[in-house]
C-alpha cells in the first residue's frame, strides 16, 4: 500500500512531463504493482513487471521500464507515433512530392515547322490572300514585298526583315527599304503570326508558328533574289539565328542581328520556361501584360497590351534557339547592339556572339542611342537619328565580304 500511495502522489509530476499518453502509462504502472504484489503472495504472475512506478516518473511505460532494466521479458508497449515523427515525415515527403510534380509538369514546347515551304508563282496575290483572312490587321503592318523594278524581276540581292516580339515591320522602317534602294534589292517584310492585330491575337501564336514565318520569309527571299540579306531585330534576330543554323546551305549573303534577344534583361523571366508556367503565370503576373509606349506611332504599330500567356512562346523560343549549335554557323554575321539595352541582356548577346562559328563576324556596340530603352536602334518611330549609323554599319560590313557582283556593294 505504501508503494501505491507513493506512486499516486507522484502522478501529477509525471503528467506534467509526459504527453497525452499519461493514462496509458498509469495503467502500465498499476499493472506492474499488481504483479509485484502477486509475486510476494505466491500467486501466479503472467507479467512480472518491477519498479513500474520509477519508470512512470522517468517518462517510461511500465513495460518499457522493465525491458530497459531487464527485470522481466514482457514485450514493451506498442510504439506510439508522435506528432514530431509525423512532422519529420511530412517535412521530407512534401518537398520531394513538389519536386517530382515540378519535374514532370508541362513546359512550353517548341515544334519546328516542316522543312519545305510551298510558294505560288504570284507572290503578291498569295500574300494578300493570306493576310485577308484577318480583318483586324493594322494598316502598314501586313506582309509586303517592295520590288526594286517595275517588272518585278528577281534581283541579285534580296532583303528580308524579321521584326521583334509585339512589333511590326514599322519597327525599324525605313531601314530595310533604304538598304534595298541603295543596293537595288527586292525587300520582303514579314508579319509574325498574332502581331499587328488586336492585343488578344498575340496569344494565338506559338513559337513554331514564328519559326514557320521565318522559314517562309527566307523562301520568299530566295525567290526575290539570287542571294539574301537577312535582317532581324530583337526576337526577329532570334529567328534569324535559327535560320542560320537550320539553313546553312541557303544562299545568304549575311545575317544582320539588331539587339538580338538571347535572354531578357530581367533574369526573372526565366521562370516563364518552368513547368506549369501556363497555369501559375496568370496568378503571379495577372491576366494581361501592359507597358507604356513612348509615342503615338509606337502605340499604333506595337502591341502594348496583350495576354500574359503570349510571353510563354517567346521565352520558349529564346531558350530553344540558345540551345542550337550556333558554333556550326558559317554565314557572315553582323551584330549591332547597345550595352545599355533595357529590354534584352547585353551580356547574353556577347556570349551568343562568341559562340557563332562564322569566320566573318563583327560585334558593334552603339553608344548614345536615341531609343529611351536603347533597344530599337533604327527607325523613324524611336531612333531616326541612329538609322544612318546602322545603315552605314551594314554597308561597311557588306563591303568586306567576298562578293562578285558590284551591285551588292555600298554606293560610293
Domain limits for position 147: 123-408
Q: What angle do CA 164, 165, 169 make, to 5 degrees?
A: 45
- For the cut 50, the answer to whether the pLDDT of residue 161 exceeds it is yes
Please answer whether residues 260 and 281 qualify as being in contact, where contact means their C-beta atoms are separated by less than 8 angstroms: no
For residue 171, say if its preceding peptide bond is cis, omega within 30 degrees of 0.
Answer: no
- For residues 156 and 8, state if they share a domain: no
For residue 174, say if its preceding peptide bond is cis, omega within 30 degrees of 0.
Answer: yes
Q: Report how many domains make up the chain.
A: 2
Let me know if residue 89 belongs to a domain. no
Q: What is the pLDDT of residues 298-311, one digit of tens each?
A: 999 999 999 999 99
Residue 238 C-alpha cell reads as: 532570334
Q: What is the pLDDT of residues 357-380, one digit of tens each?
A: 999 999 999 999 999 999 999 999
pTM across the whole model: 0.75
Let me know if residue 115 belongs to a domain. no
Nearest CA-CA partner of 290 in 310, 274, 312: 310
- For residues 240 and 145, state if they share a domain: yes
Q: According to DSSP H, which parts of 225-266 are helical? A: 235-246
Q: pLDDT band for position 347 (50/70/90)?
A: very high
Q: pLDDT band for position 281 (50/70/90)?
A: confident
What's the CATH number where 299 sits? 3.40.50.1820
Q: Which of 49, 69, 89 is a domain's end point?
A: 69
Let me know if residue 397 belongs to a domain. yes
- For residues 156 and 37, state if they share a domain: no
- For residues 363 and 301, state if they share a domain: yes
Amino acid at each position: 500500500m505504501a508503494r501505491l500511495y507513493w506512486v499516486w502522489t507522484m502522478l501529477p509530476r509525471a503528467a506534467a512531463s509526459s504527453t497525452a499518453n499519461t493514462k496509458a502509462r498509469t495503467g502500465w504502472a498499476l499493472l506492474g504493482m499488481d504483479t509485484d504484489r502477486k509475486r510476494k503472495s505466491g500467486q501466479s504472475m503472467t507479467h512480472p513487471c518491477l519498479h513500474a512506478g520509477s519508470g512512470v516518473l522517468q517518462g517510461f511505460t511500465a513495460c518499457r521500464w522493465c525491458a530497459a532494466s531487464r527485470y522481466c521479458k514482457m514485450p514493451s508497449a506498442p510504439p506510439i507515433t508522435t506528432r514530431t515523427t509525423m512532422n519529420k515525415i511530412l517535412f521530407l515527403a512534401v518537398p520531394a512530392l513538389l519536386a517530382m510534380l515540378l519535374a514532370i509538369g508541362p513546359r512550353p514546347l517548341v515544334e519546328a515547322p516542316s522543312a519545305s515551304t510551298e510558294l505560288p508563282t504570284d507572290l503578291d496575290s498569295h500574300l494578300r490572300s493570306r493576310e485577308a483572312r484577318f480583318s483586324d490587321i493594322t494598316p502598314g503592318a501586313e506582309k509586303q514585298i517592295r520590288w526594286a523594278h517595275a517588272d518585278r524581276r528577281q534581283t541579285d540581292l534580296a532583303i528580308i526583315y524579321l521584326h521583334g516580339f509585339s512589333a511590326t515591320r514599322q519597327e525599324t522602317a525605313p531601314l530595310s527599304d533604304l538598304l534595298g534602294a541603295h543596293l537595288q534589292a527586292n525587300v520582303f517584310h514579314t508579319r509574325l503570326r498574332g502581331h499587328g492585330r488586336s492585343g488578344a491575337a498575340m496569344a494565338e501564336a506559338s513559337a513554331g508558328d514564328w519559326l514557320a514565318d521565318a522559314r517562309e520569309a527566307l523562301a520568299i527571299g530566295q525567290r526575290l533574289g539570287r542571294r539574301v540579306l537577312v535582317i532581324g531585330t530583337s526576337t526577329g534576330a532570334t529567328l534569324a539565328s535559327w535560320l542560320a543554323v537550320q539553313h546553312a546551305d541557303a544562299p545568304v549573303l549575311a545575317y544582320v542581328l539588331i539587339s538580338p534577344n538571347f535572354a531578357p534583361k530581367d533574369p526573372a523571366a526565366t521562370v516563364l520556361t518552368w513547368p506549369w508556367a501556363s497555369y501559375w503565370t496568370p496568378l503571379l503576373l495577372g491576366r494581361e501584360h501592359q507597358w507604356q509606349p513612348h509615342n503615338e506611332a509606337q502605340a499604333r504599330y506595337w502591341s502594348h497590351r496583350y495576354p500574359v500567356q503570349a510571353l510563354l512562346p517567346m521565352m520558349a523560343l529564346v531558350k530553344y534557339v540558345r540551345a542550337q549549335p550556333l558554333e556550326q554557323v558559317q554565314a557572315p554575321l553582323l551584330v549591332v547592339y547597345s550595352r545599355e539595352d533595357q529590354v534584352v541582356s547585353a551580356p547574353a548577346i556577347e556570349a551568343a556572339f562568341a559562340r557563332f562559328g562564322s569566320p566573318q563576324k563583327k560585334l558593334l556596340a552603339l553608344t548614345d542611342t536615341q531609343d529611351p530603352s536603347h533597344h530599337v536602334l533604327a527607325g523613324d518611330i524611336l531612333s531616326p537619328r541612329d538609322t544612318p549609323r546602322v545603315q552605314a554599319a551594314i554597308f561597311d560590313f557588306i563591303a568586306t565580304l567576298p562578293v562578285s557582283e558590284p551591285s551588292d556593294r555600298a554606293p560610293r
